[in-house]
A and B are shown apart, each in its own frame.
Chain A
Amino acid sequence: DVQMTQTTSSLSASLGDRVTISCRAGQDISNYLNWYQQKPDGTVQLLIYYTSRLHSGVPSRFSASGSGPDYSLTISNLEQEDLATYFCQQGNTLPFTFGSGTKLEI
């Protein structure tokens, strides 16, 4: 299985800040990297797919980049509603695997 590593388990930031969350794959995943947001109530939504493509309805303050095994998600101008846990997921190889998550505290 492809191991997905999010080395930062929690991150504290202030409103208006810019934060970056990292994710590393155990092997090249050819940009098949997706980012999800899980709110405190448990609901999950897709933010970014295929490394940098913004899902419909997601605010433009979310952006992402990466290649090979290394990927990152950037949230600009942090808002209170961004309080959540962020997971990366690789879609290159079965079984699909997720990172362990980065909890963002505002």
Chain B
Amino acid sequence: QIQLVQSGPELKKPGETVKISCKASGYTFTDYSMHWVKQAPGKGLKWMGWINTETGEPTYAEDFKGRFAFSVVTSASTAYLQIINLKNEDTATYFCAKRGLTTAHFDYWGQGTTLTVSS
């Protein structure tokens, strides 16, 4: 069965860097793009962008250009989200989500990784 398993919770200080992983199994990793979604505490879902898992080319939503980086290691069927120069407002749960076959929907999600940024 298809699974996306994300890395564990992170506690970081402002200015630090974090890298969150998302390991996929149960399907051919490079056949589907991987998307990232942010959920701030008590808030809704915000799409951050996506990465072409075959070419490694990322696309970022406007609010996530600059400090955010998507990457993949195809041999490990793993996608990564790196955030540099962390700010308090980066405190959130981050989800990876696999795009579905046809229309732009996300058919499988990781369990989420909670990031807390606090001095």
Contact check, A91 vs B105: say whether CB atoms are below 8 A apart: yes
The number of inter-chain residue pairs (CB within 8 angstroms) is 62
Known: A91-B103, A91-B104. A43 touches B46 (CB 8 A): no
B103 touching A43, Cβ below 8 Å? no
Is B68 positioned at the interface, with any CB of A under 8 Å from its CB?
no
B24 to chain A, nearest CB (A): 16
Q: How large is the interface on A (under 10, 10 to 19, 20 to 34, 35 or more residues)?
A: 20 to 34
B-contacting residues, A75-106, CB 8 Å:
87, 89, 91-92, 94-101
Interchain CB contact (< 8 A) of A44 among B46, B61, B104, B109: B109
Point out the residues of chain A lying under 8 angstroms from B95, CB to CB.
Answer: 44
Q: Chain A: residues with CB nearer than 8 A to chain B?
A: 32, 34, 36, 42-46, 49-50, 55, 87, 89, 91-92, 94-101
Report which B residues bind A (CB closer than 8 A): 35, 44-47, 49, 59, 61-62, 93, 95, 97, 100, 102-109, 111-112
What 3 A-B pairs are tightest by C-beta distance, nearest first?
A: A91-B104, A49-B105, A34-B105
